Amino acid sequence: MNKKIIAIAALMLLASAAKQAVSQEKNEECIRNHSLYKSLLDVEAYTYAEEPFKVLFYNYPKYSKQMYIDGVKIYKGLYASATTTELANAYTDTIKAIYMQRIEYFGDSANVYGRCGLDIMKLRKSDTAYLEAFNLLDKSVKMSNYNPDISVASAHLQLATNLAASKKIDLERFYYSAVPLLNSIYTNVLSGEKDASYSKNAESIFTSVKKSSAKLNSKLLAETVDKLTPQEVIDSHADIICKTLGTLNCDNSDTYAKASEKLYAINPTAEAAAAIARYYKRKQDWEKTSQYFKEAAEKETDNYKQADYYYELASSSSQRKRYAEAVSYAKKSAELNESSGKAYLLIAAIYGANAPSLANDVFERGKIYWVAADYALKAKRADYNLKDEAESLINKYAHQFPTKEEAFMHSIQGGQKVEVEILKNKESTSARF
């Protein structure tokens, strides 16, 4: 027999074996148990659906991919009625086993690891649940080349940050988990190829990560970033690196500085200037911070971003004890974004802190506290998140208000409009005691 005949015979044998395997998966027992568990699942009779599903799961694992999707639904239904932690975790174990067997027979590993990780994150009741979920999500993210479903990306970054903050994973692993993924999300958003829903969810992720990453040791994270980020990545993706490290509150790193300077050299935009300013802010070089935030504010055309840059400029001017200048910039910020109360709060703090040195006369000093309290109230009304801080300043300044007797000596009555000059700014307030 020649080689060609042998090859054809081998192919025929393989085809015959495959046909037998398919028929084995579709025999009468399979069809009966599939029909039974499906009808029971439809009426949410999870306890009764479990047994026929198990027949397929253990004896006919290649029956269908849908079988695995249905199996997860069955055991989630059983989980919902679990009366003990042990039973809940046992059902969770089974759900995980269903996902793993689905991968074995039907592939799609990146997607299935992601789904499994999300479920473990929600269902597992143990101290190690989040680490277990993170490990599964990490596999999903890496198998998808750092371009997973946005829900997987969100959960992965949330867990990575929290686990790093609690030292359940080290900063090197956090870096390799979070940085490439954030880079990818920013790249997707900037490309414009994703839909509006993706961009909206991405913005929520950036906000959440920025808040949670504030718990990390910024000095150690900066050292980790500087050690692990290759120069070629900085050179080729400076804009993305700046955004990612800004989100991780890692703008104190040398990597961020190099990327910022690279970005600025290529295109000295408002955003590039702001990136350098943030680096100098971390280093507490207030003169350089002011210089670059001023440039950013003057170049920016978006009102909200410009408002933020003017606020940062006001803050750095205050650090340099240029208080009149700081108040002027803070007012520009408030004009551009009236809903941002932090500019008003900064003015209140500057006026209140400087009142003792701005007026020797008790009554004149007390008038400044009226104005300071006015700005704190504006901050509270503009941004409810500043309520506690604003009320604290208002209560503090109220103890420094002029008394009714002091006001009477200056021919001022309660409710009367009063003009006050503070740091070269003319302010209007009302008398109260």
**111, two tokens:** 């997607």
pLDDT in tens, 389-429: 999 999 999 999 999 999 999 999 999 999 999 999 999 99
Angle, vertex CA 153, rays to CA 87 and CA 274, nearest 5: 140
In a domain, 70, yes or no: yes
Domain boundary among 48, 74, 107: 107
8 Å CB contact between 135 and 118: no
How big is the chain, counted in residues?
A: 433
The values of phi and psi at residue 361, to 5°, are -75, 135
Q: Three-state DSSP class for 424?
A: coil
8 Å CB contact between 89 and 125: yes
Domain boundary among 88, 107, 126: 107
Over 70: is that where the pLDDT of 9 sits? no
8-state DSSP, 300: -
* Partners of 426 in the β-ladder: 421
In a domain, 310, yes or no: no
- At 282 the pLDDT is 87
- At 27 the pLDDT is 84
pLDDT in tens, 334-387: 999 999 899 999 999 999 999 999 998 999 999 999 999 999 999 999 999 999
pLDDT class of 14 with cuts at 50, 70, 90: very low
In a domain, 51, yes or no: yes
- Structural domain tally of the chain? 2
Over 80: is that where the pLDDT of 181 sits? yes
8 Å CB contact between 108 and 66: no
Reference 142, options 110, 173, 103; nearest CA is 110
Q: Three-state DSSP class for 420?
A: strand
Average pLDDT, rounded, for the chain: 91
DSSP string spanning 229-293?
--HHHHHH-HHHHHHHHHHTT-TTSHHHHHHHHHHHHH---HHHHHHHHHHHHHTT-HHHHHHHH
Q: Which structural domain range is residue 370 located in?
A: 341-433
Which amino acid type is present at position 393?
Answer: L
8 Å CB contact between 300 and 270: yes
Domain boundary among 39, 72, 107: 107
In a domain, 277, yes or no: no
Over 60: is that where the pLDDT of 72 sits? yes
Distance, in Å, from the CA atom of 200 to the CA atom of 338, rounded to the nearest integer, reads: 23
- At 221 the pLDDT is 96
8 Å CB contact between 258 and 243: no
- At 268 the pLDDT is 94
pLDDT in tens, 244-294: 999 999 988 999 999 998 989 999 999 999 999 998 998 899 999 999 999
Averaged over 98-113, what is the pLDDT?
96
Which amino acid type is present at position 187?
Answer: T
In a domain, 98, yes or no: yes
Q: Give, in order, the Cα–Cα distances in Å from 193 to each of 111, 243, 280.
A: 21, 19, 34
- At 17 the pLDDT is 37
The values of phi and psi at residue 412, to 5°, are -115, 135
- At 26 the pLDDT is 63
8 Å CB contact between 85 and 125: yes
Distance, in Å, from the CA atom of 295 to the CA atom of 47, rounded to the nearest integer, reads: 67
The values of phi and psi at residue 317, to 5°, are -65, -40
Distance, in Å, from the CA atom of 265 to the CA atom of 397, rounded to the nearest integer, reads: 47
* Partners of 419 in the β-ladder: 428
Over 50: is that where the pLDDT of 118 sits? yes
- At 387 the pLDDT is 96
Distance, in Å, from the CA atom of 351 to the CA atom of 118, rounded to the nearest integer, reads: 50
Averaged over 90-112, what is the pLDDT?
96
Q: Give, in order, the Cα–Cα distances in Å from 13 to each of 5, 213, 234.
A: 12, 59, 56
8 Å CB contact between 148 and 141: yes
Q: What is the dihedral of CA 355, 356, 360, 361, to 10 degrees?
A: 60
Q: Give, in order, the Cα–Cα distances in Å from 323 to each of 307, 315, 317, 330.
A: 18, 9, 7, 10
- At 356 the pLDDT is 95
8-state DSSP, 431: -
- At 29 the pLDDT is 87
Share of the chain above pLDDT 70, in %: 94
**428, two tokens:** 């209007």
DSSP string spanning 60-129?
-TTS-HHHHHHHHHHHHHHHHT--SHHHHHHHHHHHHHHHHHHHHHH--HHHHHHHHHHHHHHH--STTH
What is the distance, to the nearest Å, from the Cα of residue 194 to the centroid of all Cα atoms in its chain? Answer: 19
H or E segment and range at residue 299: helix 286-299
